[in-house]
Amino acid sequence: MPAHGLDLSRIAAPMVNQSDLPFRILVRRYNTSLVYTQMLLPDRLLNDQDYLEFHTRGLREDYDSPVVVQLCGNDPDVVVRAAKTVVDRADAVDLNLGCPQDAAREGHYGGYLLGQKDWPLVESIVSALSHSLPIPVSAKIRLCQNVSATPALGVRLEAAGASWIALHARHVSARRRRQGAADLSQVKTLKERVNVPVVSNGNVRTWEDVIANHAETGADGIMVGETLLANPCLFANATPDPVKISLEYLDICREHPDTATIETIQAHVRHFVDHQCGRRPWYNKFRAALTRCGTVDEIERLLRVRVQRWRGLAPLAEDETEDDEAEAAEDDDGARKPRPACERAVQSRDHGRPAG
């Protein structure tokens, strides 16, 4: 269900150091309807110009819209002032009430504001945002420690001005943040208790899971995080070739320089390749080689030449076949192996759309 004109049906979740601009552009190409930035820190947006410029570079341009900027914090005034630094470059602002990391516990924000003693504070932040900004405000939550209290919190968030609520139906735990399956019955219960749209986050590994999640919860949209890192084409019901999707991502990085660190770029490429080739005998060698790459060009050469050879395939570009003898010898162990199962063509981007 659209909220203020936004399509909430297929959402890329906010992920620390992984919701970079090139990745947001990539998943949009494959049927993702809405993307979030990573959780941004209000103090740094207000006091660190480099941080502000890096995380807002490209926001809400034609290639990065619609986009939700996610903030954290426990001071209504500070969060509102931070939101105002990005409001003209965002389609909505989200309050993170689910971060399970140690830093969130120490700073008393994210998922550590779910206790009932902090509900008045949470309500004041959402209310301050909704009354101060000309764009929608939402909240992303986890299960309260007392699970039965979660719908009551949702009701209060709605009353405070939240335009929609996303529920990652697991408890907050810095040590075991994804232990066990998400309790999707709680998403359904929340949906029955509030009048604003509800987004379900959790238990999605395949396109079939997207359909099943929607059917079980009745949610207005499905949010996916780590599975999209592995398969950015999930919402298009497609399985991409790992090298080709990596090269597509690298091309976007070149088109939008200084919007992702080399560490972030390496992490995305590692996820893409690991998804289908993580159990191949050459995978650890690939990871070591990827870590040694210091530029996008070096990563591209690794993919086009060495990874292709490890997969038993020809290099993808004729002008990149002049490896030195050491590299060629290192590649020999995988050069004549049968074509692995991870080599699959990208299916149609328009094949299949989630219900609702």
The model's pLDDT over 114-138, given as tens digits with 9 standing for 90+, comes to: 999 999 999 999 999 999 999 999 9
Q: What is the pLDDT of residue 173?
A: 75
- Whole-structure pTM value: 0.88
More confident residue, 329 or 72: 72
Annotation: binding site for FMN: 14-16, 70, 140, 168
For residue 331, is pLDDT > 70?
A: no
**Active-site annotation holder among 99, 233, 277, 342:** 99
Pairing of strands 165-168, 10-12: unpaired
How many angstroms separate the CA atoms of 113 and 139, rounded? 12
Numbered ranges of CATH 3.20.20.70 in the chain = 3-235
Three-state SS at 203: coil
pLDDT band at 247 (very low <50, low <70, confident <90, very high): very high
Q: Can you spell out the DSSP letters for 114-172?
A: -SGGGHHHHHHHHHHHHHH-SS-EEEEEE--SSGGGHHHHHHHHHHHT-S-EEEE-S--
pLDDT band at 320 (very low <50, low <70, confident <90, very high): very low
Q: What is the pLDDT of residue 60?
A: 83
For residue 2, is pLDDT > 60?
A: no
Q: Which residues in the chain belong to E strands, given as ranges?
A: 10-12, 34-40, 67-71, 92-97, 137-142, 165-168, 198-201, 221-224
| Short-list 171, 166, 180, 172, CA closest to 217 | 166
For residue 306, is pLDDT > 50?
A: yes
Kindly list the distances between the CA atom of residue 288 and the CA atoms of 125, 275, 282, 292, 328, in Å, as whole numbers in the listed order.
44, 17, 10, 7, 16
Q: What is the pLDDT of residue 104?
A: 96
342 is annotated as an active-site residue: no
For residue 325, is pLDDT > 60?
A: no
The whole-chain average pLDDT of the chain stands at 89
For residue 202, is pLDDT > 70?
A: yes
CATH code reported for the domain at 3-235: 3.20.20.70
For residue 350, is pLDDT > 50?
A: no
Residue 91: phi, psi to the nearest 5? -95, -15
Angle at 101 between CA 99 and CA 106, to 5 degrees: 105
- As to burial, measured by CB atoms within 10 angstroms (0-12 exposed, 13-18 middle, 19+ buried), residue 122 is buried
